[in-house]
Each structure stands twice: as C-alpha cells, then as structure tokens.
Structure 1
C-alpha cells in the first residue's frame, strides 16, 4: 500500500503541525515534545491522555472541549516517552490533580505509572485509568487485563464531562472507572492494516474475515468466510451481550467505529441491523452513532462498543464534547 508521507522520522511532528493548523484557537503544541494541549487551562481536575500514533483520531482528536486537556504521543504503535507525558502533565492546570487515561497496553501502562510517581514527587496528585474494553483479549473475570480499543472514546466522553462538572480527583476517578467497567467492545477485521512503510501487519486471504483481531494484527477468536452484513452484526452482538450481561430493560449507548478501509455505506447497513436487533431484544438505545474514532491504519472492518448507562453516567455521557476530529453533542 502506498503511503503519503515525507521523512518517516518527521511523521508525528508534521501530523501535529497540520492538525493544529486547523484549530489554532483551540489547541497548541508543546515545544520540544510530542504533545498537544488545550489553550484554555480550566480550574479543574485535568485529564492527560497518550499512546502510540497510528490510530488517528486517537490520540490527537481526544484533546478538546469536554474531553482531555493534553496528550503525549509516541511514534506509530509505540508508547509515548515518559518525559513527554511528564512535560504534558506539568503544562496542564494540575493544581487540583491530573487523571491519566490511556488504553491498557503494557508500554502505556508502565510509562504512565512511572510518570505518576514522578509527578507525585513534584507535588502533583495523579491517578491512572487504563481503559480495558476489548472482550476478546481476556475473560470477564479478568476484565482489568483486557486491551483497550475503541471504547476509550466513550470512557473519555464521560471523563471529560465529569471533570468539567467540578468533581474532585478521587470522585472523578470513581465515575470514570465505573464507565470503564461498563464499556465493552468487539471487532471484526475484513482486510489487514498497513504500517507507514506500506507493509501489511498480518495476512488475511481475500474473502475471509476475522473477529476479535487486535489492531496490530494479533490473532482473533474466529475466522470465517465473508458473511452478509446482518450475519456479521448478529455474531458480534451475540459475543457482546453474552459477555456484558446486557439484557432486556438495560439502557445503553452504542458506537459503531469504522476502520479506515470501510465505507459509511457499509457501516450504515451494519448500524441498521444493530439498532433493529437490540430493539427487538428490549434493550433501550439511549444513543447509537457511527464514527471513526479509533482507526487502525488502512484496516478494513469495524468494532461495536457498548456503554451500559445508569442515572449517574447518563448526564456525563450526554454533555457536549468537541475537537476537530471528535464531535459529540448527545
């Protein structure tokens, strides 16, 4: 696959420059670091996020109004350096504490935990939330061991609103962890993703699909011949409902997250089936939407994320959020 870049070592810096050029009144870069910040520094608990690049708009799009206050970026599929995370931590308003939100991958976890300790030594109170929503990566009884994938968008949506509402550090963490525990994601891959070099990250024969494949090409839980959109959606819903325990009378938000190679036409057909099936099962759809918020490079397929709501989480989920790459007004 052909890739449109200049020098590979300048990809991330040039991406940041180009992205911030679209919204210079909202965002700013952090000099001498691969970081991005909100220009407005609110007097509240701040959220700092981060991770490897390559799944845009995750991570750069998750900094914005009602979202995170800053983010540290690593190279493609590589955790951000500890120094970059610490620089972002010091650059946001940290007087009331900082919550780190990242996906549950080893490098990210290690670096954010390390920086949390370093920040505490400088008098900055910190807490970590590691989003763990991929139901195929560990059984439910080991939910905290799961990978973090597209469900981070829903958790971040709740997190940004909770902090904007003025919750204190530990109370905000409690709400965010509740959203984290209530978020479940399942994916299907229809064609492999590609590294910036143009090399495929895995092999997949034409005419086959794989459920539960990791976004770096890690093996999934089921490979089959290509099925109809309805059959694919039904299979994914069965996995999600069996794992989550979501049932008749429960109220949920649903995100159909498209991977980069799959069209809105296809995603809309899938979304139709999801809405129809969940309604038939008596599950209350508080919200269902299609977006591309976690996009493995060049990959075909999509994921379904479900957030089980209650009276506490719903107002935070419904609060508006905005960045150029992440708009949610429900």
Structure 2
C-alpha cells in the first residue's frame, strides 16, 4: 500500500482528478484530424464554424466525456461485484453482465427494430439484470452453494451462452450486423452528446448510491455474519449494490457496447494504492477507470491510423496480463 495517511490519499485523489482532466483535454485535441491545443481552446472560446472547430465540439468533446463516464462506471461496478461476491475475478464482463446487456440490445434491434439510445438503455438494463440473476442461480447449484470459483464458472458459462446467441442473431440478420458490429467490440467512436445525456441520470444514480454504500461495504467485506452482528441489513445492502451494478454496467453497454477488463483491473490497482477502505476505493476507482479508458481510446486512434481500433480491443490488450495475474493469485490463495 503506497498511500497510508488521509492527507496522502486526498492529495493522490486530486492528482488523479488532474490527470483525468488532462486526458479529457488530450482526447479532444489528438486524433486523425490534425489540431492543436490552441485550436481546441479557440473552438470553445472563439468558435468560427470551421471544420476543425466543428469536429472538436460535436465529435471529440462528447467522445472524451463518454469515455470518462463509462470508465468510471465500469470500474465502480467491478468494485461492487468483487465486494459482494468476495471474488477477485468478479467484473461485469467476466460474470456475463456485459454479454447479457449486449444480447438484449441485439435482440431489440433485430426483432423490434430499436434504434434510439433510450431504447438501448432500457433493454441494456433488462439484459444486465437477467444475466446477473442467471449467474446467481447457476452458481447456487450444488451442495456448497455459492463459492468464488463456482461464481466465476457460472459467469463464464452465462457469458459464452449469451455471446453465442448474439452471434446467431448477427448471422441471420445482415442489417443488425451492420448496425451493431462495431458497437459490440466496445467503442466510443461516433457517439453524440445526447447519447450520454440520455444515460447519464442512471449512471449518476449509480455513482451516488455507491458512494453512500461505501462505509457499509467495509462492514460487508468482513463477512455476512460479522456485518449482521454489527447491525447491518445485509440483504438490503446486497440488493442495493446489485442494483447499482445493473445501472452502471447496463448504462455503459447502452452507450459504448461491452467494453471489457476495466471492471476487473481497476479495483485491484486501486486497492494496491490506497488499501481496502471503500470510502476511498470507490472515488479512486472512478478516476482511474476514466483515466484508463481515455488513455486506451487515445491510443486506439493511432494504432492503425487512419482507421481506428475499437477501444474494447485496446482495453483487452491492456487488461489480459492483469487478468491472468489476478486469476493465478486469486485461485492459488484459495
């Protein structure tokens, strides 16, 4: 643990905020269309209607804000899931929640011809909830009940099942394939500001409730019996935290598709920096999640320029080594 005192943690959080704001600005400046920091500043202080100013205002600003919000939401949902399940591998993508939300969107496009962000949002929430319930039911089978290993296996099964069904829908519908293929890889490219504003209220509710639950999550992490002995309403807290996961993960998928690995990597990095106090873990994870997704999105613009790599591919490249390390460490500990 690097930061031990409250002063150190506070300073560290402010530094994370500064880095997050810097990357938001860098995301606005850098890309295929050549611009500079001066041009970016003028686009918001002395708009002249030029191509560069239009791109900066209508394309890059929404993209950078969306990346920050999605990264924060996925990171917080990973923290909540790992605390609820006491499983170091828990995250929206590993437990099939992203896949469930993605399948729901594909079904809504294929069968009901849904095309609005609002429609995507509601079906994403529904798909995320169905996936979460499915993982819980499958993981509960057997004599020992829920265990970290069984939850991971159940999540993997549900994720593969939903992903296979999604591929089936894409095979039989070329229209759906053209509409959602890039989205399914996880991308913030081409997203508009109204896409964010449609989902932001749900994400904000998830952020606020997660912060309010922080001290109770500290008790819950000690074990259900200890938490009950200290007067905590364990069932209610778990249900509330699970609802936040559905809001955050479902909302993130509605905007950017199933972006992976942020929910599993960031909580572990955060704990290595500031310890196990959720009052610090949640805000730090939000900042670091936004930082990681913004950095990945900026890199994705340059890998095969003038084309772009979906940001979900970049987070997978970054996150896979962490996942392997966490998986070996976690299961060796068990």
Q: What is the TM-score of this pair, normalised by structure 1?
A: 0.26
Higher strand share: 1
Q: What is the TM-score of this pair, normalised by structure 2?
A: 0.25
Higher helix share: 2
Larger RCO: 1 or 2 (CA < 8 Å, sep 6+) = 2
